[in-house]
Structure 1
Amino acid sequence: MNFRTASAAIALAAGLAQGASAAAQQRTIINPVDIDYRYNFEQVNGDVSYRTGADPAIVNHKGAYYLFLTLADGYWRSTDLITWTFITPSQWPNGGVVAPALLSDGDRLILQPSHSFTQPTSIYVSDAPETGKLDYLVRRIDTQPNTADKSPEEMKPNEVPPGPWDPGLFKEDGQIYLYWGSSNVFPVYGRKIAFEGGRIIYQTPAEHLFVLKPEDHGWERFGQDHSGLLANGQPTKPYVEGAWMNKAGDTYYLQYGAPGTEFNAYANGVYVSDKPLGPFTYAPYNPIAYKPGGFVQGAGHGSSFQDRYGNWWNSGTPWIGYNWTFERRIDLIPGRIYPDGQMAFTSRFADFPFFAPTSKVEDPDSLFTGWMLLSYRAAATASSTRDTFTAGTVTDENPRTFWVAATKNAGETLTVDLGTEAVVRAVQVNFADYKSGRFADAPDIYTEFRIEGSRDGRDWHEIARTEPPRRDRPNAYLELKQPETLRFVRYVHGHIGGANLAISDLRVFGNSSERDPARPARIVARRHADTRDATISWQKVPGAVGYNIRFGIRPDRLTLTHQVWADELGTGAQLTKELRSLNKGVPYYVAVEAFNRAGVSRLSTTVPIR
């Protein structure tokens, strides 16, 4: 839809608050999630810090949402999924928390970090997590005794490795279950446990629940676009990790992340059962959360939860990977469980603004605002530049390229020319950490800036700014209080906590006055001899900025999306894209939609992938 009809989309969005006062409040969110990701140093890069964000564990506890991440020095709380407040805990393990399990038992919040191979670990509990209060539930757990005298290299596949690493907790009818596993050798495990007298009691032996089968499941292949290769071109086996259990109706959904966090192919899948410890069956509609294209890439290793209205959400770990291979952020995408039990989360426009629901929403795609990306490949200029880090990269939708200013003094500017006037509704400023060398507890780590707009590049006025309280906002998202008709959008610097002012992408959202793109035609879908792969082709749509390839195992349920940019597909009349994420023995259907700065086309004819 274009800007003439965008207001209708807002009015139709499910659960929106009505009235004039609501128009002045933020109603939308975007990925990556706008939180104050904490600075961390990795041993291999001891002189360069990066913001850590990975392995999100989110639960709905007493109507509020609690978020724990890897190597943060505390956790976050939200009541609306829009604004997250960092909470400093009363105590915290010296080595930090990595890939934690998080459980709300109704009265308490239980936190179990991944267990080190060499150091004892504690399990924590809180009956008032909103205050930061954390007590010991289990002061010390040691390596599981049947392998306590073995190193990881000495383990055999039929043995239980030290840990648990990447744990997940689930409670039902008073019984607690522990799931874990992070390996390209060992399976995902599960067992019954109890917390008694300050100890963890293993009530049943560890059971092997499942292993990856990349030979059958295309999306489980390691590497960029499921290439099966490391970044250096060497082949490797995929990793399974991030166990998380949900129950809906009579079905248990054991979630896992695969095949590797440092690639666009990272995704979440599920095995299902009618019992908490199985036997488990692979879900043929996997993966459930998948985002290999666009600005935010990767959606694996996270958690699934229901909000206070009963809507389902999946969190995951997109990849940045500039300062360190495993530099990451988190995303949050909506979904549902269909009446037949299929679990699915939609990544369609998941890195564009979407509404935070205030009621039950039947179709998660209806949360998309219809606000389009106005800034893709737009011209950009800056007040100053360091070395070769020019402003031209801030509209390329790549978080690994960035502009660096000559100084980080207040008043430095970055300006994007949209080319023509458009209705602007939101701006996202994504900062990069170039030679940052900072610690999370430094007092000056906060973000302040304002956004200005102009119709002619001469007369400017403020359209948005960061507001108190001060906090670090490496992926700052500002929704305008009212839409503005503009051609130019300018970032005006105030303060940044990093050592340098560096911005990877200045993303502008709204709607232009051009027509929506035409409906894609001549869809051809050919499955390869290796049926994990398929080639999709369609007729080029004039003026399209990008395309969403939407596919799934039913023609009326295209739950998976692979977004591609038009300028990456060549100049031919018939465009093609290879999908490498299919499951052997499963039928698939596909359709394509085009989008531009105005809106989205009608979905093409849906065809089988043969």
Structure 2
Amino acid sequence: MRFLACLLLVLSCFCRVVAQQRTYCNPMDISYRYNFEQLNEKISYCSGADPVIINHKNEYYLFVTIQGGWWHSKDLVNWKYVVPDKWPMEDMCAPAALSVRDTLYLFQSTFEQRPIFISTEPEKGKLLFYNRWLPRLPKDIGPWDPAFFHDDDTDKWYMYWGSSNVYPIFGAELDKNRKLTYAGNNPAEAYKAMLWLDPYQHGWERFGPNHSDPFKPFTEGAWMTKYNGKYYLQYGAPGTEYNVYGNGTYVGKEPLGPFEYAPYNPVAYKPGGFATGCGHGNTFQDNFGNYWNTGTTWIGYNWGMERRIVMNPAGFDKDDQLFANTRFGDFPHYLATKKIPSGNGTDSDALFTGWMLLNYKKPVVASSTLSIPTDSVRVAANVADENPRTFWVAAQNRPGETLTTDLGTEREIRAVQVDYIDYKQTLYESDSTVYTQFKILTSIDNKKWDVVADLSKEPKRDRACAYVELAKPVRARYVRYEHLYVAGSHLAINAFRLFGNGFGKAPATPVLTAKRQKDQRNADLSWSKVPGAVGYNIRWGIAPDKLYQTYQFWNDQPNTFELRALNVGVPYYFAIEAFDENGVSVLSKAIDDGSGLGKK
């Protein structure tokens, strides 16, 4: 009987662990690494950018800029950091990775001569040289931000690359018979331009916040996907340090083109919300055949290149249009457990849990706050403002510091995300002392508290964007973060995000107006505010049934906006939905942009 009781206890614990693995939330919860990148400037921060997720033998490998290794996962939720047995070169920036049959190929960004590595045991960190030196290209050409592509139908190999506001995205065929060196006898003539940015025709390619800066934009982050006999060459633009960083695509009939600009660009775009920007990533398939698009989201407090990683459902619709679904992209989503249809482009909405943000600008009380006379105020309220660059700093980094938020009324709590930020840190390397531990407690009356999550019971790892799905829904009005441990000199949190549902009705549907400007890259939007709404999603696309783009606004923001992300000569349609703690309104009827471009 004691044995059975112990077995039931173990199974119960196992079931609770499994229950916590159904969902994920952007930014991705991985052990972002501290590194040497800004050691000379004495700026310390953990970061991750330029992701590539590879499905290799039905398991997943994540490669990220300057991380000293990579991550391995069997489910796209739990990521184990892997240290290579012998890191044969300097750390890799924006690496190329590809799985072909039983071998994983890996290559780093470079302007010099560098080798291609292979591994048949990447889960163990085993790396071997495939070739010793990919030949050098002319000055400033690269290959920087490279991407491999193997055409399964022809057994031919290609590489694409580019990271510049001067040069285009390049492409070249690789010769497998010569260890994947450039095809032909002269490497300097083996490559050619694939695409250039054109911000005068493509509004979303303009630089700056909301595409407002005349500075020449950057293109980078090439990736190739073959679908239904067509070749989709993905690229990132216009700059990683802005909310409008997205992914676009050109489409061709051959791996090296010619390519045509897709009028529905960008294919991945998330300019509003907490985790803004989703450019420079890749497109991959999970074990059920579903597509996903990865990208880079911006933090940018300590340094312009301080970033995190995101992953969004993606696919091809019935007209072979590539899209990534970023609607509620930084709210909890389910991981797919079967093939999700993508024919109408909105089927991937089924992966959204429907768990709403419960504490936007709700009252927050801290146990202490660091007095910073020469700096901006770093108070508790900042953890609920959905701005990753504002935060709270505790008086001391010690166990027992707390943040307590009042939701105003009882809600059903389903998940919690705690996002940390580096404030005047002195860490330049991740080691065994760098990990995250905290407890989450809930209460109905602010007197009796129950522990609903405890990271001290888990294996130690660093979690800058810690996401915890509760083992079961909990009704509570008050939620508390209780600090246990983070490495470094300060405890600083930029977001304490609570997800779940209220018990009321979803808000009413707003009324939207849209007017295309004379400069067709822009449109003026305005909408009615509805009672009780927390925010709004403006959705748009090139047809009433292709509203794949989303811009999220909060109710306390202005209800007018100049959208500067459109393509010249392309008609657009717009719709709006409101949301609050209870759910999402019915989507309004799609309206055209008033330009007459869609009329014959």
TM-score, scaled to structure 1: 0.90
CA distance in 1, matches of 2:279, 2:446: 42
CA distance in 2, matches of 1:105, 1:328: 30
Task: Select which of 435, 446, 450 maps to 2:435.
Answer: 446
Aligned twin of 1:127: 120
Q: Where does structure 2 lack aligned partners over 5 or more consecutive residues? A: 1-13, 342-346, 372-376, 595-600
Does structure 2 retain, via aligned residues, the 8 Å contact 1:23–1:482?
Answer: no
Please tell me the residue identity of whatever aligns with 2:222. Answer: A
Aligned twin of 1:157: none
Residue 205 (structure 1) shift: 2.0
CA distance in 1, matches of 2:557, 2:430: 42
1:428 aligns with 2:417: yes
| Higher-RCO chain (CA-CA 8 Å, sequence separation at least 6) | 1
CA distance in 1, matches of 2:84, 2:171: 29
Aligned twin of 2:299: 320
Aligned twin of 2:344: none
Task: Select which of 290, 296, 299 maps to 2:278.
Answer: 299
**Structure 1 residues 390 and 123, CA, compared in 2 at 3 Å: closer, same or farther?**
same
Does structure 1 retain, via aligned residues, the 8 Å contact 2:157–2:180?
Answer: no
String of CA shifts for 1:469-515, please: whole Å, max 9, x gaps.
21000000000111111111111111102321110010000111232
DSSP-derived class of the 2:263 partner: coil
Does structure 2 retain, via aligned residues, the 8 Å contact 1:139–1:198?
Answer: no
**Structure 1 residues 21 and 86, CA, compared in 2 at 3 Å: closer, same or farther?**
closer
CA distance in 2, matches of 1:459, 1:315: 42
| Worse overlay, 261-270 or 94-103 | 94-103
CA distance in 1, matches of 2:579, 2:23: 20
Task: Select which of 251, 255, 268 maps to 1:272.
Answer: 251
String of CA shifts for 1:16-47, please: whole Å, max 9, x gaps.
xxx98797342110000000000023347632
Task: Select which of 345, 355, 365 maps to 2:349.
Answer: 365
Aligned twin of 1:218: 203
**Structure 1 residues 352 and 81, CA, compared in 2 at 3 Å: closer, same or farther?**
same
1:36 aligns with 2:26: no
Task: Select which of 552, 558, 564 maps to 1:580.
Answer: 564
Does structure 2 retain, via aligned residues, the 8 Å contact 1:64–1:77?
Answer: yes
Aligned twin of 2:3: none
Question: Which ranges of 4 or more aligned residues in structure 1 deviate by more than 4 Å?
Answer: 19-23, 195-199
Aligned twin of 2:364: 380
Task: Select which of 245, 251, 262 maps to 2:241.
Answer: 262
Residue 243 (structure 1) shift: 0.5
Does structure 1 retain, via aligned residues, the 8 Å contact 2:404–2:478?
Answer: yes
CA distance in 2, matches of 1:598, 1:120: 56
Residue 546 (structure 1) shift: 0.5
CA distance in 1, matches of 2:227, 2:56: 17
**Structure 1 residues 107 and 25, CA, compared in 2 at 3 Å: closer, same or farther?**
same
Aligned twin of 2:167: 186
**Structure 1 residues 171 and 199, CA, compared in 2 at 3 Å: closer, same or farther?**
closer
**Structure 1 residues 477 and 90, CA, compared in 2 at 3 Å: closer, same or farther?**
same
Does structure 2 retain, via aligned residues, the 8 Å contact 1:374–1:509?
Answer: yes
Residue 182 (structure 1) shift: 0.8
CA distance in 2, matches of 1:217, 1:198: 39
1:545 aligns with 2:545: no
Does structure 1 retain, via aligned residues, the 8 Å contact 2:277–2:297?
Answer: yes
1:606 aligns with 2:596: no
DSSP-derived class of the 1:31 partner: coil
String of CA shifts for 1:90-136, please: whole Å, max 9, x gaps.
12254310011111112100001101x3x432221101111110111
CA distance in 1, matches of 2:464, 2:16: 28
Does structure 2 retain, via aligned residues, the 8 Å contact 1:321–1:400?
Answer: yes
Does structure 1 retain, via aligned residues, the 8 Å contact 2:174–2:180?
Answer: no
Task: Select which of 88, 108, 115 maps to 1:113.
Answer: 108
String of CA shifts for 1:157-182, please: whole Å, max 9, x gaps.
xxxx2x10111110113211011111
CA distance in 2, matches of 1:171, 1:454: 55
Does structure 2 retain, via aligned residues, the 8 Å contact 1:179–1:189?
Answer: yes
**Structure 1 residues 602 and 106, CA, compared in 2 at 3 Å: closer, same or farther?**
same
| Worse overlay, 59-68 or 438-447 | 438-447
Task: Select which of 188, 194, 202 maps to 1:209.
Answer: 194
1:69 aligns with 2:58: no
1:174 aligns with 2:169: no
1:351 aligns with 2:357: no
CA distance in 1, matches of 2:485, 2:365: 19
String of CA shifts for 1:34-63, please: whole Å, max 9, x gaps.
000000233476322111200001111110
DSSP-derived class of the 1:364 partner: helix
Aligned twin of 2:86: 91
CA distance in 1, matches of 2:76, 2:430: 25
CA distance in 1, matches of 2:365, 2:59: 42
Aligned twin of 2:459: 469
| Worse overlay, 439-448 or 286-295 | 439-448
Task: Select which of 494, 514, 539 maps to 1:525.
Answer: 514
Q: Where does structure 1 lack aligned partners over 5 or more consecutive residues? A: 1-18, 153-160, 230-234, 570-574
Aligned twin of 1:10: none
Does structure 1 retain, via aligned residues, the 8 Å contact 2:156–2:176?
Answer: no
TM-score, scaled to structure 2: 0.92
Task: Select which of 477, 491, 504 maps to 1:501.
Answer: 491
Please tell me the residue identity of whatever aligns with 2:103. Answer: R
CA distance in 1, matches of 2:71, 2:416: 23
1:47 aligns with 2:42: yes
CA distance in 2, matches of 1:297, 1:56: 16
Aligned twin of 2:218: 239
CA distance in 1, matches of 2:86, 2:252: 38
Identity rate, percent: 51
CA distance in 1, matches of 2:215, 2:40: 24
DSSP-derived class of the 1:458 partner: coil
CA distance in 2, matches of 1:29, 1:301: 20
Task: Figure out how many residues of one structure are paired with residues of the other and give that number.
Answer: 564
Does structure 2 retain, via aligned residues, the 8 Å contact 1:41–1:48?
Answer: no
Residue 249 (structure 1) shift: 1.1
Residue 184 (structure 1) shift: 0.7
